[in-house]
Amino acid sequence: MNVVVVESPSKAKTINKYLGPNYKVLASFGHVRDLPAKDGSVRPDEDFEMSWEVDAASAKRMKDITDAVKASDGLILATDPDREGEAISWHVLDLLKKKKVLGDKPVKRVAFNAITKKAVLEAIAHPRDIDISLVDAYLARRALDYLVGFNLSPVLWRKLPGARSAGRVQSVTLRLVCDRESEIERFVSEEYWNISALLKTPRGDEFEARLVSADGKRLAPRAIGNGEEANRLKTLLEGATYVVDSIEAKPVKRNPSPPFTTSTLQQAASSKLGFSASRTMQVAQKLYEGVDIGGETVGLITYMRTDGVQMAPEAIDASRKAIASQFGDRYLPEKPRAYSTKAKNAQEAHEAIRPTDFNRTPDEVRRFLDGDMLRLYDLVWKRGIASQMASAEIERTTAEITADKGGQKAGLRATGSVIRFDGFIAAYTDAKEDGEQTDDGDEDGRLPEINARESLAKQKINASQHFTEPPPRYSEASLIKKMEELGIGRPSTYAATVTTLLDRDYITNDKRKLIPQAKGRLVTAFLESFFTRYVGYDFTASLEEKLDQVSAGEVNWKDVLRDFWKDFFAQIEETKELRVTNVLDALNEELAPLVFPKREDGGDPRTCQVCGTGKLSLKLGKYGAFVGCSNYPECNFTRQLSSESNGEEAAVSNEPQALGKDPHTGEDITLRSGRFGPYVQRGDGKEAKRSSLPKGWTPSTIDHEKAVALLSLPRDIGAHPESGKMISTGLGRYGPFVLHDGTYANLESIEDVFSIGLNRAVSVLADKQSKAGAGRGGAAAAALKELGNHPDGGAITVRDGRYGPYVNWGKVNATLPKGKDPQSVTVEEALVLIAERAAKGGTTKGKATKAKTTKAAAKSEDGAAKTTKAKAKAPAKSKTKTASKAKKG
């Protein structure tokens, strides 16, 4: 009997069915050891010696593997075919060697790009040794991430209170988002005009032509810069006669895009399916690891962490056969297509993402997949098969037209296109946003019959005013595309990097647009001012290139570390002498548009509007940065630093602004500004009642009526018709709500708090109870999703509770991160959340659970990237304590 080690239990289950009774397949649940989250785990003074720690969960997994190996004939390491997979195999083998259980038993390393019976059996038949170069590349990356995290993050904490931590790749990615925001702030819009003519042929057909030349000169895009020039040209066209100079119909071929890589799959899934990058990888992981198809468990797609665009020869042959049978010979090109990647520093170590069997169409597997899996598989299948199909044949027609008014001439052009043969478009149409752009001009539609030298009748002249727009904010997909173009990060880390920035609240995702938050911009400005090199795009890309050379066995990994550490350590040492005033001066300059937005009256944005003489500046407090006056304490004006600040808050200070008196108590109501933003207050002293302004309400809109309404909350609506207990509304941590007998239900808007009636309130509460249970003291909330069983037994479910969705296992409830879709939670993510909650909450299973399940998510949704990077960032105190508990457990 041979022991086979893989990462995940689902992968183990699938492979076990392929190999039969002579093999025992066990899961490591990702990495079995990691660098302890404390100083000294990587020691540059000892030539970068590294200390590894096996937590309780991994210790149990390793005991199971060790016991099985003792009774086995040999060991087969079958982890994923990438750097992280190689590292997991190396860790497992190293631990087994230290336990001295291998003896002379054979050890084999196998790798397969698809989890199908054929691929697995072929890999077993052709084993190899562990690729030490890949392991060295893993060690170098892990050490670099640790050294950056454990040395740069404390600098942030000391010099920039409120900042959380800084990572090697995350910091550069954050800079991309912040730089784009700065571009938008600096952008000056310019006016331009477009002019076109609606013309009619002698046969009565109408079409539109745009102005392209005038006064004997070709007009560049946006060349008409004002209304005066536009009116002059419009007048010329109004009185002109029109003749067709030439008409040309030109055949054009459009070729298909290559099959998906990790980044292009994330881009297409974003634009076509609305998936986040992390959701895309979660679903792809399931499709890769195996699905039960009519009693046979099989992986439906190849490995999904890749920057390669090639397909294996046998896959190309299979796709061509499928094209001929499903679309016809007309759609099959004479010879197979070959692709090469354009991404910077691409390794192309693996195939592109493709179906494992092109004959397994989306329609055939529809009944075996859930909605998201089917939609993503459909995308992969169509893109894969389209990549080998014939080109689309398009006829593009261009008509050149002369307008003549008494010798004054202008040129117009009309274009149109029609698809003569759809080719690959019959299977797949490229995405038009979030990264993947296609040829322009195919959407003009067909022109009517137009003949050279014939006259045209003018119907209407259109002159439209436009203004240039700033560059768009990044979406997740377009940010990942930019990272790939610059050579920042790798396929296994893209989604994890963006998720880390979102989790730290350095950026937010608003309607699929990434917006840097104030703390994110502060961190970026600090790093750009004092660690310029280490947030440089070229430097980061060149370091990635060196790490790729380590993977290829061309460079020694410790040489890379030595070169990096020498300069990085010197930079860290220099910041020890850095004074906070130096930091603030640099940030005031770097972040001027954010900190000091333009005033409507045109005054100096840095002059305090309260005292009139003080200068505004960034201040650093216990809870982060804020704007304050230089005349403090005589002037105690403060303003919260916000990415959405438009300067309106500057009119509010801690000096009370009277809004009137409370109609019931007679107390003064004032508008004030505090460290955490504007608020209204009734009365003075300890008994004063206060209420922060709800989201969407600005100080300039607050009047006496609104202030009274806010201070009157909670508002009683009436008695519940069944219980007789009062129903009320109010504002809480999670926004507006309605409350009855301990049961909270969210309301859609702040206006609902003041206007909702009894009937609707009862209905909202009933909807809440039907989804989440009977509330406090009642039955448990109904499960939104069943995730499976915990390794220690017992079901794991996702539920909706009083404070939002959470993961439940026995008596352990773990709240989902803000913005996390309950339906997208995976069992691996749930295990980590449960472990963290159990360690903090003191349940009987807490300590062991934390240690036991932390590694379980290692290969789910870039799990390898997350676990290898998570501890490299210097953790907050609470995280350190959690890690300590896990170690003791």
Which active-site residues does the annotation give? 303
Are 31 and 11 within 8 A, CB to CB?
A: no
The amino acid that residue 690 corresponds to is R
Read off the DSSP letter of residue 452.
T
Q: Using CA of residue 501, residue 503, residue 505, residue 508, what is the dihedral sign?
A: positive
Are 33 and 95 within 8 A, CB to CB?
A: yes
Which parts of 662-782 are beta strand (E)?
668-674, 677-682, 689-692, 715-719, 726-732, 735-740, 743-746
Residue 510's nearest CA partner among 478, 476, 469, 470 is 476
Other beta carbons within 10 Å of 683 = 17
Are 484 and 307 within 8 A, CB to CB?
A: yes
Residue 518's nearest CA partner among 819, 181, 771 is 181
Under DSSP, is residue 35 helix (H, G, I), strand (E, B) or coil? coil
Residue 293 host element (H or E): strand 291-293
Q: Rounded CA gap, 301 and 312, in Å?
A: 13
The amino acid that residue 59 corresponds to is A
Are 691 and 710 within 8 A, CB to CB?
A: yes
Beta bridge partners of 462: 196
Q: Which long-range contacts (CB under 8 A, 24 or more apart) does 718-721 make?
A: 718/758, 718/761, 720/762, 720/765, 721/762
Read off the DSSP letter of residue 220.
P
Q: Rounded CA gap, 279 and 261, in Å?
A: 16
- Taking each continuous run of H as one helix and of E as one strand, the counts in the chain are 26, 32
Other beta carbons within 10 Å of 293 = 16
Are 47 and 559 within 8 A, CB to CB?
A: no
Q: Cα 504 from chain centroid?
A: 13
Which parts of 431-535 are beta strand (E)?
455-467, 507-510, 513-516
Rg (CA), the chain: 32
